[in-house]
Each structure stands twice: as C-alpha cells, then as structure tokens.
Amino acid sequence: MSSYIIIGAGVFGTSTALHLKQQFPSATVTLIDRTSPPCPVGASHDINKIVRADYKDLFYCELGLKTLHKWKTDPFFQKWYHECGLLTVTDKNSSVIDKILENFKTLNVDHLPERFGPKELSDRFDGIFDMRMKDDDKLLYNPVAGIAKAEKTLGATIQASIDLGVQYIASPVSKLIINSGVCHGVQAQDNVYYADHIILCTGAGTAKLIADSAPKDQDLQVGRRITARAVCCSAVELNGSQEAFKNVPAVANHATPVYGEAMPATDGLLKFVSEVSFTNTVHHDQSGQDMSLPVIDPATSQWTSPETVPRALREDLDNVMKDIYGKQAAGMKPSTYRICWDGATLDNNWFICPHPRCSKLYIATAGSFHGWKFLPIVGEYVVQMLQGTLSEEMKRRWSWDRPLGSPEPDPCRPNKEFQDIKNAGLARL
C-alpha cells in the first residue's frame, strides 16, 4: 500500500489529495498545512477567484475549457460557481484578444466571445462601467466565464478528501528529511512523518523549504524556477444603493497604465486586485542564496484594515477601482485589504514533476496567479505524474529542468521590493 505526504493544502495540494484518494482508496494520504483548514494566509484562501478559459496560450485555453465544464456541471463544484461573464480590456498593441479568439476557434468552441470597442461599452451592462479608456483600446466579452467562492470551495474540497480517508494535519513543516539524495519524510512542528512519496505543493514557500532542508546541496535548490511574488487586493462593503454591482461581469483590465481586476459582489463584498506584483528578496544565510520569501504576517496576509497596508499599494488599488468604474466608484472606500503571495514562474507554466535529483520528492506547485480555477482537475495531472502517464506536452511544460530562458515582456512582473514599498510610508486613515 503506497503512502503519500502532501505539504500544502492549497489548490494543488487539496486537488491532489482528493484525486489520489478517489483513484487509490487503499493508499495512505496525508495532507499537511500550517493551520486548521483552509489556511487563512494561503494564496488559495480568498473571497472569490475568476474562472475562465480565456487564455492566449492554446494549452491553458484547452485546460481552462475542461475545468470550466467541471465547474458548470459537477454537482459538488457548481454550487460555488457563478457564471457572470468576463470582460477583458487591452490596449491597441496587445495581441491577447486576437489570440484568445483564435484559440477558441481552433478548439471549436460553440459560443465565441464578443469583441467590441470603447464607444459601445456605455451601452452595455446597464452603463455600470465608466472606464478610463483610449478610443483604440480593445474589449472582449465572454459570457461563458465566472467567479467561484474561493475560501468556501477550498474548505469543502478539503473536507471531501477527509471524508474519503485523507488525514489532515495542522502543523507547520520546518524541513524535509533528506539523506543521500532520498527524501524520506518531513519534520513538522508536532512530529516527524514518513511516506513513500513526498509532494511539495508549497507555492511561494517552496524555495525556502528546500533551502532549509538541504542548504549545502546546490543541485536541489529552486534557483530561478519559482519566485515568491505578491499582489494586493481590496474589498468594498456594498450598501443598499449599490445592488447593481452584484450582476456585473468580472473584469480583467490589462490596458495601460493600470493593470487590475474587479469581481462582481460576493457576500456583499466587491473585490479588486492590482495585478502588478512585487517581491521580498532576502539573503538565505545557510545556503548562501538571495531569494524572495513570502511575508506571512496575519496583519497583511489575511484580510486586514487599511492602516496595516503600505500607502502605495492602497493607491494602486484606488486607481484600479477608478479605471474600471469611474464615476460609479465615487464614494467607494475599501474597508479591508490583503497581500496575496504565490509561487510564480518565468514562463507562467507550473511545476508538476519528480525532483530529478532527489528520489521520492515531487513538485506540484507554482500556480503563477492563474492556478486556482483548476482546483477541480489539477490533481488529476499530479496523479498522472506520479504514475508516469502524463502526456509528453505536459511533461515538457511542467518539468523541473525545462529551459528557463528570458521571460516574455509582462508589465505585471515585479519591479519593486516589498521593503521599498513599506519604506515609502504606511497608509493613513
């Protein structure tokens, strides 16, 4: 009987635990995270997340259609999903919308998204959007997209895996037990645990965990593969006169100079995301590396009051809100903020692979701020990886030793350090 330890009960870890237990009921599956589920400082813990297949990359477009079908038809997931549509905005020089439409045509999608210009926007969606746009910006509306309640779905999925026999342990993991190139188990705060397979679903904390576990073994280190990056979110409590915001599409505004998202109201909260990320680079003394580490502080990693958030981040979110809703945002004042850390890659592909230089150690992480929507299906591919049955395309994209190269130009990539943002001054009420 095989045994598995999964570290991290976010999207990758939870989906893996569920799929492992569904396919191998007699296997021993242990899911470990820092707190009782769902962990409130994890990237997967949120008000809501966009569920879409609108990708310029054909590979993820096809995966997006598969997960979207699961959200719409599976009785377990569909109760957390709300199909509100997605409005994507880009500037004239971007090819994103053209590639999305091309991918949907290639995949023979029945209902293609609708493309229109800024002048038509005021006549759509009951005039709710008052975007600050240029006349040559591009818009794409896809009614077959939506949002899902993130915290509630994740919690329910963890509980479903526990009901199938997964053991959940709430205990921080300090290091992996690695001897002579073999990973035997994990050292948690409460105990030492051993298994045949150790699966890291540790997101932004992956580089530090490996460095803490084997600081002198350079061949094991993450290096440039995964970077801890953060974005900031805000939420506005709606009043009775703002009911219209419950029935709007989600928005991904990628027109310069502001990059951000807005979600329809969920449980009375209207959420915004500033998509320009930042890092927290520090020196890891034991391994001699510089790496970005997540700042896991309940004061900022959970939904928190404005005074705990650096002013520059709050101003960025104000701009996101105003650029999407314009005069409709007059009087809106976010009551709560959150800094969300994720493990991100240079090419936006995940890692779902064995560690090639450490036996019994596996990697399934690096959602790169677009992994959450795949909660219903990503564990299926982790199980395939463990069984050696992943497709050649998936092996190539998600391998540990794939060529990293230079990243494509992306204005959302980090250009600031968290400490510099903090030093610019904390927000004042």
Per-residue model confidence (pLDDT) at position 241: 65
Please name every residue paired with 260 in a beta bridge, in sequence order, or none if there are none: 253, 274
The pair of three-digit structure tokens given for residue 306, joined into one six-digit string: 């404005």
Per-residue model confidence (pLDDT) at position 429: 40
In this prediction, the residues of the chain whose per-residue pLDDT falls under 50 are: 426-429
Per-residue model confidence (pLDDT) at position 256: 74
Per-residue model confidence (pLDDT) at position 330: 85
List for the chain the helix, strand, coil content (%; round to 5).
Answer: 30, 30, 40
CB atoms < 10 A from the CB of 409, how many? 6
* Residues in contact with 239: Cβ distance below 8 Å, sequence separation at least 6, in sequence order: none
Name the residue among 310, 339, 333 with its Cα closest to residue 424. Answer: 310
The pair of three-digit structure tokens given for residue 8, joined into one six-digit string: 């991290």
Predicted TM-score (pTM) of this structure: 0.96
Per-residue model confidence (pLDDT) at position 258: 80
Per-residue model confidence (pLDDT) at position 425: 62
Q: Please check whether residue 398 is in contact with residue 352, taking contact to mean a CB–CB distance below 8 angstroms.
A: yes
| First vs last C-alpha separation in the chain | 57
CA distance linking residue 55 with residue 260, whole number of Å: 16
